[in-house]
């Protein structure tokens, strides 16, 4: 049996887990691990400039690939800096394994230098966390961490390793477990057949159905099955912010995103539906508007791997706990051999109604005649230039909603955003994580002048490792979404939402050795984008000046139902 | 409505903090909480009494189940069950009243476990209602100190919570 130190076990276990990249930042408590890292070549470490970015890079990679991202940080500030990124992954159910150092076990509890109770601090924002009590536990705990992070409803797992668990001279027998079994953790492997039968009866008897697809469909790798079911039935499909790309957005049956800034037709169809088949979405508050007014005539079937997501905010009629993929496969088989078929007449009337709603708004926006670019125009141009095939990693704010609304996602895992936590600063490092793993793909960070400044230090990481992401900054010299809410709810008192003293982004990119292009007019837009994407090996920052007064529409009216929307600054339903 | 939830949880450092943290994090009530290892030293059994609407209770049991270290749980109030709580209570017992205290303790089948010339310390076991009734019967003016264990519970009949 091979004898390894705890530090060597950490690295060997990650190798045996087939990890290619880890993102991190060294410090006192993890120096033994970093020393073990330096003595091997299988795993590449990416040195970030702030630990938050390490977690977002791992997260971006996880969202694009479906595999857990791996982070290595030191104790104290290293660990606490990672918290925002861990919480971001937790809220969006993204698999991640975070290894953090801890002060030696003999000092724990004594307020030692760089000591933080990471078990306590991270507990509310992790799927699980482990503290290492003996070096020989390390391989087993790492195996468990990957298993927990990526099975069931995925999420981040933290492993807290006191420095004395990694002492180079203390060697123990190493073997990496082949499998894990835990008596206290066994996620559902299939749905209840009786419930699935009931669901099919409702589904086939519906006259105004919608299929409501969430992030769980992507996380559960069930997009093909969901698409097949929707097309077999010819039912309209709505994808949530987290589910964009799970069903092709250019297909006729896709009617948009629901919720706060969802499409008019998606919100109207939901409100008037008689049946909602929810696949892996959790009816969160940004989707439902007032829960007591949510879809008054709809029966609801809800497929979710996490039973606690079912009937949490909205009571459902047929709950199905299980992995989306196996449940949908069972549903497809039942639909294929069922004697009942959907009522073609009712369905065609339903489509006529939906198409009328589609006509009414259909993502329209007013263009300026004074030359100021509209953010929507920029996203449409981006879609054209990238032929709809880029990974779009968004930050948080108005630009995020525009990127969700005006880029059409035909594939899953291409739209990467912090949906639930809404973490500004997420987009750029997430894009870096994606680009490292998919060097031949176009990877774009869509950001704003506010969000970008929350993690711009990573420009330096991009220089070091030559990560040529493209950054599309919708520059409105303000915190656009805050400003929009202030316009709508606070009589346009723009309290602290104007970003004074923006840096000269051109000079900033110069300082880091990157390229910047400034765009101020419509005429400059397409050529600038084309030029940027032609520079395959360069990070290009597009500083695109847009109309600072623009709002995101449609927008649900607070405390209303799904059909209560602002459609423009002056028009509401 | 009040519910008693019995939970088997891995007997590991930090497991209890996950349960307690869950309740505060999700704005659930804890009225009482008792915890101790079981006959299998790798498992602890925890009893929580809580209250809330059916939807809240459903969320509580689902969220508890989701904790990785929770092995199994049951809402005892869904069926017939026995609940007990133990109280140690220090009572003023002087003059004529001293006999009255003794009588009340007997009626409630309590035991006097410590005595001074002016104090009885009483041990009393029962459901929450019985303990509350005892305090009422004695009169709060005579109560110097109380300590209650919180509720522990078990299902009646052949239902067993084990792995």
Q: Are residues B101 and B138 in the same domain?
A: yes
**Per-residue confidence in pLDDT tens, chain B, 163 aa:** 899 999 999 999 899 999 999 999 999 999 999 999 999 999 999 999 999 999 999 999 999 999 999 999 999 999 999 999 999 999 999 999 999 999 999 999 999 999 999 999 999 999 999 999 999 999 999 999 999 999 999 999 999 999 8
pLDDT by residue (tens digit) across A326-373?
A: 999 999 999 999 999 999 999 999 999 999 999 998 888 988 888 899
Q: Are residues B101 and B130 in the same domain?
A: yes
Mean pLDDT of the A415-419 span: 98
Q: How far is A20 from chain B, CA to nearest CA, in Å? A: 27
Phi, psi of A391 (to 5 degrees): -80, 120
Say how far residue A124 (Cα) sits from the centre of its chain: 19
- Residue B159 belongs to a domain: no
- Best probe of the A interface among B21, B68, B162, by most A CBs < 10 A, is B68
Q: Are residues B68 and B88 in the same domain?
A: no
Length of chain A as a residue count: 573
Which of B79, B108, B141 is the endpoint of a domain? B79
Q: How far is B153 from chain A, CA to nearest CA, in Å? A: 22
Contact list in B for residue A128 (CB cut-off 8 A) is 68
Is A167 within 8 Å of A35 (Cβ atoms)? no
Q: Are residues B65 and B97 in the same domain?
A: no
Q: What are the residues facing A289 on neighbouring strands?
A: none
Copy the structure tokens of residue B21: 């943290």
Q: Are residues B67 and B98 in the same domain?
A: no
Nearest CA in chain A to B163: A183
- Residue B163 belongs to a domain: no
pLDDT at A297: 97
Is A428 within 8 Å of A399 (Cβ atoms)? no
Is A195 within 8 Å of A319 (Cβ atoms)? yes
Q: Are residues B90 and B51 in the same domain?
A: no
- Look over chain A and give the mean of its residue pLDDT values, rounded to a whole number: 97
Structural domains of chain A ordered from first start: 2-174 (3.40.50.970), 193-360 (3.40.50.1220), 375-552 (3.40.50.970)
Mean pLDDT of the A379-384 span: 98
Q: Are residues B94 and B67 in the same domain?
A: no
- Residue B131 belongs to a domain: yes
Is A416 within 8 Å of A430 (Cβ atoms)? yes
Which residues between 18 and 77 in chain B have a beta carbon less than 8 angstroms from any beta carbon of chain A?
Answer: 18, 21, 25, 55, 58-59, 62-63, 65-66, 68-71
Q: Are residues B68 and B103 in the same domain?
A: no
CATH number at residue B141: 3.30.70.1150
pLDDT at A371: 82
Q: Three-class SS of residue A127? A: coil
Is A297 within 8 Å of A274 (Cβ atoms)? yes
pLDDT at A361: 87
pLDDT at B152: 95
Q: Are residues B72 and B86 in the same domain?
A: no
Q: Alpha-carbon torsion B2, B7, B11, B13, what sign?
A: negative
Helix H segments across chain B?
A: 15-25, 54-66, 97-107, 128-138
Q: Three-class SS of residue A131? A: strand
- Residue B140 belongs to a domain: yes
- Residue B19 belongs to a domain: yes
Say how far residue A532 (Cα) sits from the centre of its chain: 25
B62 vs A315: CB contact, 8 Å cut-off? no
Copy the structure tokens of residue B123: 């041990």
B68 vs A123: CB contact, 8 Å cut-off? no
- Residue B161 belongs to a domain: no
The total number of structural domains that make up chain B = 2
The helix/strand count (H/E) of chain A reads as 21, 22
- What domain range includes position B53? 2-79
Which of B58, B79, B100 is the endpoint of a domain? B79
Q: What are the residues facing B120 on neighbouring strands?
A: B91, B115
Q: Are residues B10 and B43 in the same domain?
A: yes
pLDDT by residue (tens digit) across A282-291?
A: 999 999 999 9
pLDDT at A368: 86
Nearest CA in chain A to B9: A184
What are the C-alpha distances in Å from A304 to residues A191, A281, A283, A323, B65? 9, 7, 11, 7, 15
pLDDT at A1: 84
The number of C-alpha atoms within 13 Å of B163 and in the hemisphere containing its C-beta is: 19
Residue environment code for A516-549, b if the CB has 16+ CB neighbours within 10 A, otherwise e: bbebbebeebeebbeebbeeeebbbbbbbbbbee
pLDDT by residue (tens digit) across A13-59?
A: 999 999 999 999 999 999 999 999 999 999 999 999 999 999 999 99
Q: Are residues B86 and B148 in the same domain?
A: yes
Which of B56, B79, B102 is the endpoint of a domain? B79
Is A357 within 8 Å of A265 (Cβ atoms)? yes
Q: Three-class SS of residue A119? A: helix
Q: How far apart are CA A219 and CA A172, in angstroms?
A: 37
Length of chain B as a residue count: 163
Q: Are residues B70 and B10 in the same domain?
A: yes
> If 0-12 CB within 10 Å is exposed, 13-18 middle and 19+ buried, where does residue A369 land?
exposed
CATH number at residue B24: 3.30.70.260
CB pairs under 8 A between A and B: 37
Q: How far apart are CA A198 and CA A201, in angstroms?
A: 5
ipTM given for this complex: 0.93
Assign 3-class secondary structure to B64-109.
Answer: HHHCCCEEEEEEHHHCCEEEEEEEEEEEECCCCHHHHHHHHHHHCC
Residues from A in contact with B at Cβ < 8 Å: 119-120, 123-124, 127-128, 131, 133, 148, 182-185, 306-308, 311-312, 315
pLDDT at B158: 94
- Residue B120 belongs to a domain: yes
């Amino acid at each position: 049996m091979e004898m390894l130190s705890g530090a060597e076990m950490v690295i060997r276990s990650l190798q045996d887990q087939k990890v290619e990249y880890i993102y991190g930042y060294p410090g006192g408590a993890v120096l033994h691990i970093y020393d073990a890292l330096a003595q091997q070549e299988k795993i590449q470490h990416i040195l970030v400039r702030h630990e938050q970015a390490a977690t977002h890079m791992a997260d971006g990679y996880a969202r694009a690939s479906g595999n857990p991202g791996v982070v290595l940080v030191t104790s104290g500030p290293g660990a606490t800096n990672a918290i925002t990124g861990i919480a971001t992954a937790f809220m969006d159910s993204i698999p991640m394994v975070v290894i953090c150092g801890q002060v030696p076990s003999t000092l724990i509890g004594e307020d030692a230098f760089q000591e933080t109770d990471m078990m306590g601090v991270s507990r509310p924002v992790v799927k699980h966390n482990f503290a290492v009590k003996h070096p020989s536990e390390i391989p087993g705990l790492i195996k468990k961490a990957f298993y927990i992070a990526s099975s069931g409803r995925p999420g981040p797992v933290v492993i807290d390793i006191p420095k004395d668990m990694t002492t180079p001279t203390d060697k123990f027998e190493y073997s990496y477990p082949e499998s894990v079994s835990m008596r206290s953790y066994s996620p559902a492997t299939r749905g209840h057949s009786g419930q699935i039968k009931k669901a099919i009866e409702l589904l086939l008897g519906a006259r105004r159905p919608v299929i409501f697809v969430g992030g769980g469909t992507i996380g559960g790798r069930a997009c093909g099955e969901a698409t097949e079911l929707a097309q077999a039935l010819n039912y309209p499909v709505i994808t949530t912010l987290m589910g964009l790309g799970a069903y092709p957005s250019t297909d006729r049956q896709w009617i948009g995103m629901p919720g706060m800034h969802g499409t008019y037709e998606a919100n109207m169809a939901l409100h008037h539906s008689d049946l909602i088949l929810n696949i892996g979405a959790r009816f969160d508050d940004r989707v439902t508007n007032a829960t007591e007014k949510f879809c008054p005539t709809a029966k609801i079937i809800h497929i979710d791997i996490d039973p606690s997501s079912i009937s949490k905010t909205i009571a459902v009629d047929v709950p199905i706990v299980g992995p989306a993929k196996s449940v949908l496969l069972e549903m497809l088989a039942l639909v294929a051999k069922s004697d009942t078929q959907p009522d073609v007449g009712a369905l065609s009337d339903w489509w006529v109604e939906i198409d009328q709603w589609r006509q009414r708004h259909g993502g329209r926006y007013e263009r300026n005649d004074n030359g100021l670019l509209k953010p929507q125009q920029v996203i449409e141009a981006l879609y054209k230039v990238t032929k709809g095939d880029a990974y779009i990693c968004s930050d948080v704010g108005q630009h995020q909603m525009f990127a969700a609304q005006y880029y059409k996602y035909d594939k899953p895992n291409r739209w990467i955003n912090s949906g639930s936590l809404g973490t500004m600063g997420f987009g750029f490092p997430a894009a870096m994580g994606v680009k490292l793993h998919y060097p031949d793909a176009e990877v774009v960070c869509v950001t704003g002048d506010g969000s970008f400044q929350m993690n711009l230090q990573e420009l330096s990481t991009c220089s070091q490792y030559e990560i040529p992401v493209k950054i599309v900054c919708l520059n409105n010299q303000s915190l656009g979404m805050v400003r929009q809410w202030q316009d709508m709810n606070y009589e346009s008192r723009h309290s602290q939402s104007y970003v004074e003293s923006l840096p000269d982004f051109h000079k900033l990119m110069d300082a880091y050795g990157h390229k910047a292009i400034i765009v101020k007019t419509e005429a400059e837009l397409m050529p600038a984008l084309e030029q940027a994407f032609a520079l395959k090996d360069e990070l290009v920052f597009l500083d695109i000046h847009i109309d600072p007064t623009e709002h995101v529409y449609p927008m649900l009216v607070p405390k209303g139902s799904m059909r209560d929307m602002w459609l423009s600054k002056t028009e509401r339903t | 409505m009040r519910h008693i939830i019995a939970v088997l949880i891995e007997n590991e450092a930090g497991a209890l903090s996950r349960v307690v943290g869950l309740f505060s994090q999700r704005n659930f009530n804890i009225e009482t909480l008792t915890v101790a290892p079981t006959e299998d030293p790798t498992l602890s059994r925890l009893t929580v009494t809580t209250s809330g609407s059916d939807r809240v209770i459903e969320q509580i049991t689902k969220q508890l189940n989701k904790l990785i270290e929770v092995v199994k749980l049951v809402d005892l109030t869904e069926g017939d069950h026995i609940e007990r709580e133990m109280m140690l209570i220090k009572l003023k017992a002087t003059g004529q009243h001293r006999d009255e205290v003794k009588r009340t303790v007997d009626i409630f089948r309590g035991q006097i476990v410590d005595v001074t010339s002016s104090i009885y310390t009483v041990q009393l076991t029962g459901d929450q209602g019985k303990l509350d009734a005892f305090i009422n019967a004695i009169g709060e003016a005579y109560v110097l100190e109380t300590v209650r264990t919180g509720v522990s519970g078990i299902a009646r009949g052949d239902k067993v919570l084990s792995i």
